[in-house]
Structure 1
Amino acid sequence: MAPPTSIVPDSEHRGLLGLLPQRARDLVQLARFDRPIGAWLLFWPGAWAIALAGHAFDRWDLIAWFALGAVAMRGAGCVYNDIADRDLDVRVARTRERPVASGRVSLTVAWVWLVALCLVGLVVLLQLNRLAQIVAMCSLALVACYPFMKRITWWPQAWLGIVFSWAAPVGWPAATGSLGLPLGWLYAGAIFWVLGYDTIYALQDIEDDMRIGVKSSARALGRHARAGVTAFYLIAIALWGMAIWSVRPEALALVALAPVAGHLLWQVAGLKPEDGADALMRFRSNRFAGLLLFLACLVVGTTSQA
């Protein structure tokens, strides 16, 4: 296995980030603005819901607000996670140089930064209708509990799936003013998608997690990690198929899922569980998987309104 420092350095000083003053650099890193993959993954389920509901074009402004909200709330989630996990992060090679764990950012500054990011999220929340606002607020308790799940259950990635897919049950009522069956299938599929890609991500930390006693789906699956991720992705594809079928019950509509299905199967076909760099590359490729499903939802949602 590659040394942890070659997997993904937690302190990057190249490009624009390297030009920033130290405090600004620390805050950018604390919110992971230098690593937009998490914002993409948080954003896509909301965009899927809006597109599948048939409102991708007439509510492009809503998609833009969701993009801003994804950046802000993913940043807030990272700050909160680093505050809660500072005692664990300092014991893991990949995370010990994070701003809070390393001591470069104090807890007081981290909490202030967290509040500031949440205020941006509040601005986005106020753009939504009442039902979408209520659904969005229901996620707060789940988000607050997430950092502690790795200490409690072998499946914290499943909890992350519930939390990180929440934009879908917010996006659908934000676009339509109501809840619907397609949303349920779409959200359930997103949960299994997250469970799959975050299991891949967790492969990077298996050795450190074993040493410090942190639980994960990667550890739970062990040598069956590839088979487990394959099962999660197949379930996700099946559930997304149900979502599309409930919007447009035609076999041809399901063909729209072929590109994303092919991409997910590519991820697991060549996955090397013992290679952290490979796991990271395949995890990051899910931003493209999200785009492919968005295009599928866009085609099906738009044509179903015609």
Structure 2
Amino acid sequence: MTGLAVAAPKRLDPAKFQDPVVTAKGERRAVVAFAGLRTLWVNTGTLCNITCRNCYIESSPRNDALVYITAEEVAGYLDEAVALGTPLEEVGFTGGEPFLNRDLPAMLRDVLGRGLRALVLTNAMKPMMNHAAALLDLRAAFGDRLTIRVSLDHHDAALHDLERGEGTFEKTMEGLAWLARHGFTLHVAGRAAFGGEGEAAMRTGYADLFAAHGIPVDAADPVALMLFPEMDAEVDVPEITEACWGILRKSPDSMMCASARMVVKRRDAAAPAVVACTLLPYDPAFELGATLAEAARPVALNHPHCAKFCVLGGAACSR
């Protein structure tokens, strides 16, 4: 083998991200105040039709750590959001593969029927196509208030398939093309560092792919094509202190947990729970209660994902 050797990433200091109040160096940890619920995320369940090599939530055809949430349970949270007077604008559905949950069309109709926007994260493969008729009905009834975000890890088929399995690129592109033909509002999610390219080259590659297949996604738009940083909680990353906001020229109000929460339903749990964000569905330190009212409190940035993904990576799961 030729070429330069790539140094192994530095592993995380075990003293970091232990105390929600102070960092390993004794500095005051950054905390994000809750500014009001604008985006409610729903994890439809961790079951997925494929097994990816680096899925942060470990979704697979066998992982049901988060079980299927029901349309009735989601409706209860939507009713609570109204009762609390929240500024809720959008409800996002993630998994697992959301279209494996048979209640998803009913949940979408409920959300859209309330005048809210809906966003679905999907691999656009067979589970989505099993709901083709329902999707077309929703598109006809609610138009652009429904957005489908398709996961396409790389614009090169071989690299995408390396992560998601042989033949998955072709199947996802078929689903993406179907959505485009029927006029759905489309976004695409890729991985910023996958393949070793810089962001500009990645966006050019996606632009060429979209043009070749008639996919109406602007690859230069960071919302239409979201390139997410890698998430490995064992790789070293700086802790975020109160001083970081000024140093980085960022506002805590721009963080996902300032305006979003996610509902999950754990296996064997009697009822769903509300967690701080989409990235931390399993960590008990980020479970905030059973209701939206209980979850309307500050979040200490006490996890590597808070630092690498949100603060330093500048990523957000919603628009």
Query: Normalization by structure 2: what TM-score?
Result: 0.28
Query: Normalization by structure 1: what TM-score?
Result: 0.29
* Structure with more helix by fraction: 1
* Structure with more strand by fraction: 2
